Amino acid sequence: MAKINGEDFNEVITIGEYLKKKGYTAARVAVMVNGEILSKNEYDCTKIQPDDEVEIVGFVGGG
Amino acid sequence: MKISEREFAEAVNSRSKSPIYDKMKAATVGIAGLGGLGSNIAAALVRSGIGRLVLADFDKVELSNINRQAYFLRDIGRRKTEALAEILREINPFCEIVTHDVRVDEKNCLEIFGECPIVCEAFDGAEEKAMLVNTLLSESKTVKIIAGSGMAGFGRANEIVTKKISERLFVCGDGKTDVADGEGLSASRVIICAGHIASKAVEIILA
């Protein structure tokens, strides 16, 4: 089973679909798959694989 | 007062069982954005004896910055790079400071920060934060990034934490309090987040 931000996930969808479903804005996130950064142009063609560990950072403004 | 580097180093090392100055002096850190996070991160790092800072911001100091940024009223209207470099030299004249008075974007960020093993992301806007993290992690194979996300408002100090996302990415903040929601930004909470970022940078340097 895949893990996204530490939670179990077992649907076969793309990163792009997941972000949309969860209400993330693609321009404000960084997505790490198994410790490596995923380029934005790969979001829509990268399917979440059963053993993937995905970390999504949704940035908020202020600094 | 004229202080020698030896005296400064001894003062940085004082009360510490293992001296840190030599390791700090050998280190280079980049800071992207010189607002509430960046200016306070830089001040913390020069106080700990950092050897080299690469600072980038295109902006000028405004009155609305004084509530949380390290600048003085006398700096209003000056370029942040120039004003901050002067403040930092008054704290620690032995730090080499490189400034880039430019808006950091996808095209220039590797050129500006490519030489830095550690980069602190200290922008104000969420999209700029994401841009820097995505671009540097993709284009550099080694850089470690410490980013800030979620430090608006007052109070809830203990909600601000440092989170390890991967070997090369750390994110400090509460992860959710967005300045766009209208809570404003305060020195107390922004400085806590800046302290987390600077502390992680020092931890990596001394590891």
- Strand residues in chain B grouped as ranges (E): 28-32, 52-56, 96-100, 118-121, 144-148, 161-166, 169-173
CB distance B115 to B54 below 8 Å: yes
Domain membership of residue A20 (yes or no) is yes
Q: Looking at the predicted structure, is the pLDDT value of residue B1 above 90?
A: no
Nearest to A27 among B38, B127, B151 (CB): B127
Distance separating alpha carbons of residues B119 and B124, to the nearest angstrom: 15
CA torsion sign, B94 to B38 to B150 to A37?
negative
- Name the strand (E) or helix (H) holding A22: helix A15-22
Domain membership of residue A26 (yes or no) is yes
The 10 Å Cβ neighbour count of residue A25 is 13
Query: Domain limits at A11?
Result: 2-58
Domain membership of residue A63 (yes or no) is no
* CATH code of B180's domain: 3.40.50.720
Distance from CA of A24 to the nearest CA of B (A): 12
The 10 Å Cβ neighbour count of residue B187 is 16
Per DSSP, A38 falls in state: P
Nearest to B124 among A29, A55, A61 (CB): A61
Per DSSP, B112 falls in state: H
Q: Would the CB atoms of A59 and B130 count as touching at under 8 Å?
A: yes
Tokens 């020092």 appear where? B202
CA atoms within 13 A on the CB side of B131: 18
Q: Would the CB atoms of A39 and B37 count as touching at under 8 Å?
A: no
Q: Looking at the predicted structure, is the pLDDT value of residue A21 above 90?
A: yes
Q: Would the CB atoms of A39 and B151 count as touching at under 8 Å?
A: no
Query: Domain limits at B202?
Result: 5-206
Domain membership of residue A28 (yes or no) is yes
Task: Identify the bridge partners of residue A30 per DSSP, sorted by sequence position.
Answer: A57
Domain membership of residue A52 (yes or no) is yes
Tokens 């993330």 appear where? A24
Q: Would the CB atoms of A60 and B180 count as touching at under 8 Å?
A: yes
Which token pair is B21? 């100055």
Mean pLDDT of the region A4-23: 97
Chain A interface disruption, residue of B165, B181, B185, most A CBs within 10 A: B165
pLDDT at B109: 97
Which token pair is B154? 């007052």
Q: ipTM greater than 0.95, yes or no?
A: yes
Residues of B in CB contact (< 8 Å) with A are 33, 35-38, 122-127, 129-130, 133-134, 137-138, 147-152, 165-167, 169, 171, 173, 175-180, 185, 190
Q: Which of B120, B110, B179 is nearest to B140 (CA)?
A: B110
Q: State which residue of chain B sits closest to A6, comparing Cα positions.
A: B165
Residues of A in CB contact (< 8 Å) with B are 25, 27-30, 32, 35-37, 39-40, 55, 57-63
CA atoms within 13 A on the CB side of B49: 20
Domain membership of residue A30 (yes or no) is yes
Residue B198 pLDDT class (50, 70, 90 cuts): very high
Q: What is the percent of chain B with per-residue pLDDT over 90, rounded to a whole number?
A: 100
Domain membership of residue A50 (yes or no) is yes
* CATH code of A12's domain: 3.10.20.30
* Span B14-27, pLDDT tens digits: 999 999 999 999 99
Angle, helices B80-91 vs B36-47, to 10°: value is 20
The 10 Å Cβ neighbour count of residue A52 is 16
Question: How many domains does chain B divide into?
Answer: 1
Question: How many domains does chain A divide into?
Answer: 1
Edge to edge, the sheet with strand A29-33 lists A7-9, A2-4, A53-58, A29-33, A36-37
List of chain A residues whose C-beta atoms are within 8 Å of the C-beta of residue B37: 63
